[in-house]
Amino acid sequence: MGICQLLSTRRCRCCFLFIPSYSQEKPFKSRHGRVVAASVDGENGVPTLTPLQTADKKPRKQTFAAIIGCISAALLVSIILVLVYICLMRVKRFMRRTSRTETSMPSTVELERANTSHYAAGAPSPIYVQNLKQITMSELEHATHNFSQSNVIGEGRFGLVHKGLLQDGTRVAIKRYLNTQVHFFLHEIKQIAQVRHRNLVKLVGYCEDNHQQFLVYDYIPYGNVGNHLYDYEGSPTGKLNMRQRLLIALGAAKGLEHLHSMAPPLLHMHFRSSNVLLDENFTAKVSDYGLSKLLSEDQFYASSSAIDCFLDPELYSSKRFSVQSDIYSYGVFLLELISGREAICRDPSNLETTLIMQAKDSKDISSFVDKTLGGKSMRGAKQVVDLALQCVNIRPRRPLMRSIIEELERIQETEIGGLPFEAGEEIGDVTLGSELFR
């Protein structure tokens, strides 16, 4: 066997490949089953190897992985952009709200945190109240023309009341406390400021400067109910018709009921006609609530007459106010509203002259009802008087404010429909001397 034959038939131990002959090129299978091609250079006789052909599977897998990676990255970037956009929009809306608030209420600030050491035991810790203005003394002086006497519109237990105009155009009633400074003043007014209802006068601000304390309320332009019921001698003026009186009675009842519905109930303790104010739509708004803790006992029980007809007689002995005490005062308010006369005892030695005794002793209710109401209002007026007498009854027999509201709504529904509507019904102007917030 020649060398050429041996070379063409023997395996190469180095590469384990079959070596083809010099004259031709043939494919051979390796022992791993892969086809290879071997060639020999005819000039130098050195065998050369042809590289193996790599399969196409790996490039395809790498391309697919690259596509998936690009899609994932694009989704991640999109999500991040959406989140950034949402955050920017929220910041923009917040800045707009802040801008509107600062424009509409330039004087609005959060209440400064007061020292809790002087609060009564068990009292809630101070909280911040929104929409309560801290007004400076210079602002109040400018609003009232340096507390001019011509702007005094009343005087009550808390002190003098001035009408004023703030720099932002808000008309206000400013109550000036002239007694000993109250150390827990901030704590109490924050409690009052939280009370909000359509039939309650809103506290809008306060001032505490140089041992002087002020409460600033919304100004109700048409004064209290008493100014529209009777003159300075307590006689009926006939300014309000039955429709208006029922509307006022219902509004005052709703304001008082809102105070009683709080937990715990907020007792008014000084409810009377002079503390029920009227706006231009005959909407009744109860004022002077929540001030009991700011007054001393002497101030609280003080009255312009020897006998306070609005005060529950049982309080003279017990001095324990309750929801029923406010209901008694509301009953007297109803009697004033229907009779058109002031509930004041000008002769303490003769209790028969009180409005309550007159209502109880009237055999003919028409003699008690304000004659300016007319005959068509008589049936509804009698029902209101009956309700008022239930309110001034012995304490356990008095109805709750919720029941009073339901009864007034029933009377209004059955009686108002039969009353003629008077075109141009409006409240007449009230002079500056009206006792607002008395």
Residue 110 tokens, joined: 């959060």
Helix, strand, coil abundance in the chain, percent, nearest 5: 40, 15, 45
Rounded (5°) CA angle 218-222-228: 140
What pLDDT does residue 85 have?
Answer: 82
Dihedral (C-alpha) 174, 178, 181, 187: value to the nearest 10 degrees?
-30
Dihedral (C-alpha) 275, 280, 282, 283: value to the nearest 10 degrees?
-70
- pTM (two decimals): 0.67
Q: Token pair 């019904």 is at which residue?
A: 425
Q: Using CA atoms, how far apart are residues 311 and 302, in angstroms rounded to an integer?
A: 11
What pLDDT does residue 330 have?
Answer: 98
Q: Using CA atoms, how far apart are residues 308 and 120, in angstroms rounded to an integer?
A: 30
What pLDDT does residue 320 have?
Answer: 87
Measure CA of the first residue to CA of the last residue in the chain; give whole Å. 140
Pairing between strand 133-134 and 203-209? parallel
- Do residues 206 and 134 touch, judged by C-beta distance below 8 A? yes
92 is in an annotated binding site: no
Report the run of H or E that residue 39 belongs to, with start and end.
strand 35-40
What pLDDT does residue 81 have?
Answer: 87
Q: Token pair 């300014």 is at which residue?
A: 239
pLDDT in tens, 151-172: 998 887 778 899 999 999 999 9
160 pairs with which residues across the strands? 155, 176
| Residue spans of the chain under pLDDT 50 | 1, 3-46, 48-55, 98-128, 302-305, 423-424, 427-438
Backbone angles phi, psi at 77, to 5 degrees: -65, -40
Pairing between strand 276-278 and 35-40? unpaired
Q: What is the mean pLDDT of the chain?
A: 76
Beta-carbon neighbour count of residue 17 at 10 Å?
18
What pLDDT does residue 83 have?
Answer: 86
